[in-house]
Amino acid sequence: MLIRSFEPDDWPGVWRIVEPVFREGATFPNAVDTTEQEAHCYWVEAPLATMVALDEAGVVRGIYYLRANQPPLGAHVANCGYVVDSSCRGQGIGSALCVHSQDEARRRSFRAMQYNLVVETNEAGVRLWRRHGFELVGTLPGAFRHADLGYVDAYVMYKKLVE
Amino acid sequence: MLIRSFEPDDWPGVWRIVEPVFREGATFPNAVDTTEQEAHCYWVEAPLATMVALDEAGVVRGIYYLRANQPPLGAHVANCGYVVDSSCRGQGIGSALCVHSQDEARRRSFRAMQYNLVVETNEAGVRLWRRHGFELVGTLPGAFRHADLGYVDAYVMYKKLVE
């Protein structure tokens, strides 16, 4: 598994794994009918950095974005979002992306990382991020409108990257 | 005290009370050297709604913005920011704006309101929002770079607007 910066030719492979996640409406707050152009803006144009995980055949199996979570006086806290190809769950790709994103954030002088809206029903994600040192800072009652389940709680998760 | 929608002629009065708050770097995450144009975008262009509080003489004494806190699947949660003229503290303007913003949010079908980055040293603000039913959901360690105090904690605060 190679993790490297996104290149324009990666986009079709990214869209292949990202589109079903948006359509599902279970983890990201983006509209379930997000267009390919909007998704490109969200994953590639708006963030500070976009990284992809490629398998041995060069197929995109995962992606994350990294951005500052707030304007300047809160811009030392990073925010990331991750997607792993649903056909490759349980292979450690999410873990590898999570570790890589923390290293990348430290390299860019971020002091902490925050996830703003971790859907409570995304149990695998919550477990993964806890394992990598993220703390569940608080619970936002009914803050996520799950496409199937309706209003569900969401967590704020946070990890300091420096002492 | 009249609270009504912002009108373009209000801008000089808004900038008069907003500029020192940004320059101070103690409550909003915006850069201390934010330009007037950037401030106009932040307070007037970007939000869903901007409301001003005017005294009997028609002088702007307070302002708030209202926006959706997240993309569509989290867009039923509102976010607001408030500024009160520093020469008019303790007159209930902050309270009036807080109540007005909740009514306005309900009117626009928001189901909750969230403050993402309440600086711990902004004790008057924290007290005010608690009094108006906002709960301290969690603490973000070192998430705000205070212009005078360096890295300080910030709170996530949240209130449901409907049952």
Chain B residues within 8 A of A159 when measuring between CB atoms: none
Q: What is the DSSP string of B29-85?
A: -S-TT--HHHHHIIIIISSSEEEEEE-TT--EEEEEEEEESSSGGGTTEEEEEEEE-
Chain A residues within 8 A of B111 when measuring between CB atoms: 142, 151
Q: Which residue of B has its CA nearest to A23?
A: B73
- Cα A129 from Cα A123, distance rounded (Å): 10
pLDDT exceeds 90 at position A163 = no
> Quick one: pLDDT at residue A150?
98
- Per-residue pLDDT tens digits for B71-104: 999 999 999 999 999 999 889 999 999 999 999 9
Work out the average pLDDT over A123-152: 98
Q: Which residue of B has its CA nearest to A148?
A: B73
- Cα B98 from Cα A122, distance rounded (Å): 33
- B111 vs A151: CB contact, 8 Å cut-off? yes
Residues 72-131 in A contacting B (C-alpha not used; CB under 8 Å): 72-77, 111-112, 114, 116-117
- Residue A47 CB partners (closer than 8 Å, separation 6+): A65, A66, A67
Extract the tokens encoding B12: 């000089």
pLDDT exceeds 90 at position A146 = yes
> If you average pLDDT over every residue of chain A, what do you get?
98
The ipTM, to two decimals, is 0.96
**At A145, is the pLDDT very low, low, confident or very high (cuts 50, 70, 90)?**
very high
- Superfamily classification of domain B2-113: Gcn5-related N-acetyltransferase (GNAT) (3.40.630.30)
Q: Which residues of B18-33 are buried (b: 16+ CB within 10 A; e: fewer)?
A: beebbeebbbbbbbee
Residues 32-71 in B contacting A (C-alpha not used; CB under 8 Å): 32, 70-71
Chain A residues within 8 A of B71 when measuring between CB atoms: 28-31
Residue A65 bridge partners (DSSP):
A50, A81
The minimal CB distance from A138 to the residues B32, B72, B156 is found for B156
- Per-residue pLDDT tens digits for B100-122: 999 999 999 999 999 999 999 99
- Per-residue pLDDT tens digits for B28-55: 999 999 999 999 999 999 999 999 999 9
Q: Is B151 exposed, middle or buried (0-12, 13-18, 19+ CB in 10 A)?
A: middle
**At B163, is the pLDDT very low, low, confident or very high (cuts 50, 70, 90)?**
confident
Chain A residues within 8 A of B141 when measuring between CB atoms: 112, 158, 160
- Per-residue pLDDT tens digits for A90-109: 899 999 999 999 999 999 99
CA distances to A129, A136, A158, B54 from A133, in Å? 7, 10, 8, 48
Chain B residues within 8 A of A114 when measuring between CB atoms: 140, 143
The minimal CB distance from A71 to the residues B29, B139, B154 is found for B29
Residues in chain A: 163
CA distances to A60, A103, A151 from A38, in Å? 19, 28, 24
- B31 vs A71: CB contact, 8 Å cut-off? yes
- Cα B107 from Cα B66, distance rounded (Å): 12
- B156 vs A156: CB contact, 8 Å cut-off? yes
- Per-residue pLDDT tens digits for B117-153: 999 999 999 999 999 999 999 999 999 999 999 999 9
The model carries a pTM of 0.97
Percent of chain A predicted with pLDDT > 90: 98
- B70 vs A29: CB contact, 8 Å cut-off? yes
SS3 of A56, please? Answer: coil
CB A137 within 8 A of CB A157: yes
